[in-house]
Chains A and B, each alone.
Chain A
Amino acid sequence: MGLVESGKLPKTLSKLLNISRKYSIWAYQWGLACCAIEMGAAFASPRYDVMRLGVIPFPASPRQADLVVIAGTVTDKLAPAVVRLYEQMPDPKYVISMGSCANCGGPYWDSYSVTKGVDQLIPVDVYVPGCPPRPEALLEGIILLQERIAHEDMAERWKGEPIVVG
Chain B
Amino acid sequence: MSQLSSADTTTETPAEDEAPVEVDERRQAVLDELTRRLGADAVVGSHIEPGYDLWVRVTREAWPEAAVAAKAMGYTFFDFLSAIDWLPSPFGRDMDAQEDLLGDPAPAKEPQPIVQGHAGGETRFQLLARLYSISAGMGVLFKADLPDDDLSVGTWSETFLGANWHERETHEMFGITFVGHPNLIKLYLPTDFQGYPLRKDFPLLARRVRPWPGIVDVEPMPGGDDSEGDGE
Binding site for B on A (CB under 8 A): 76-77, 105, 109-113, 116
| A105 CA to B209 CA, complexed, in Å | 14
Task: Indicate if the CB atoms of B204 and A76 lie closer than 8 Å.
Answer: no
Task: Indicate if the CB atoms of B188 and A111 lie closer than 8 Å.
Answer: no
Task: Indicate if the CB atoms of A113 and B207 lie closer than 8 Å.
Answer: no
A-side contacts of B197, CB under 8 Å: 112-113
Task: Indicate if the CB atoms of B189 and A113 lie closer than 8 Å.
Answer: yes
Q: Please tell me which one of the listed residues B189, B190, B206 contacts residue A110 in the complex, with CB atoms under 8 A apart.
A: B206
A-side contacts of B204, CB under 8 Å: 110-112
Inter-chain contact total with CB atoms closer than 8 Å: 21
Other than the given A77-B189, A110-B207, 5 more pairs (CB < 8 A) read A77-B188, A105-B206, A109-B206, A112-B202, A112-B204
The A contact surface, by secondary structure, is loop
Binding site for A on B (CB under 8 A): 188-190, 195, 197, 202, 204, 206-207, 210, 212
| A76 CA to B193 CA, complexed, in Å | 10
- B205 CB, nearest partner CB in chain A, Å: 8
| A113 CA to B206 CA, complexed, in Å | 11
- B62 CB, nearest partner CB in chain A, Å: 33
B-side contacts of A105, CB under 8 Å: 206
Chain A's closest residue to B204 (CB) is A110
A-side contacts of B207, CB under 8 Å: 110
Task: Indicate if the CB atoms of A77 and B190 lie closer than 8 Å.
Answer: yes
| A53 CA to B190 CA, complexed, in Å | 39
Q: Please tell me which one of the listed residues B188, B210, B212 contacts residue A113 in the complex, with CB atoms under 8 A apart.
A: B188
| A105 CA to B189 CA, complexed, in Å | 17
| A109 CA to B211 CA, complexed, in Å | 10
Chain A's closest residue to B210 (CB) is A109
A-side contacts of B210, CB under 8 Å: 109
7 A-B residue pairings within 8 Å (CB atoms):
A77-B188, A109-B206, A110-B204, A110-B212, A111-B206, A113-B197, A116-B206
Chain A's closest residue to B95 (CB) is A110
A-side contacts of B206, CB under 8 Å: 105, 109-111, 116
Most interface-central of B190, B195, B210 (chain A CB within 10 A): B190
Task: Indicate if the CB atoms of B190 and A76 lie closer than 8 Å.
Answer: yes
A-side contacts of B190, CB under 8 Å: 76-77
| A94 CA to B122 CA, complexed, in Å | 57
B-side contacts of A110, CB under 8 Å: 204, 206-207, 212
B-side contacts of A109, CB under 8 Å: 206, 210
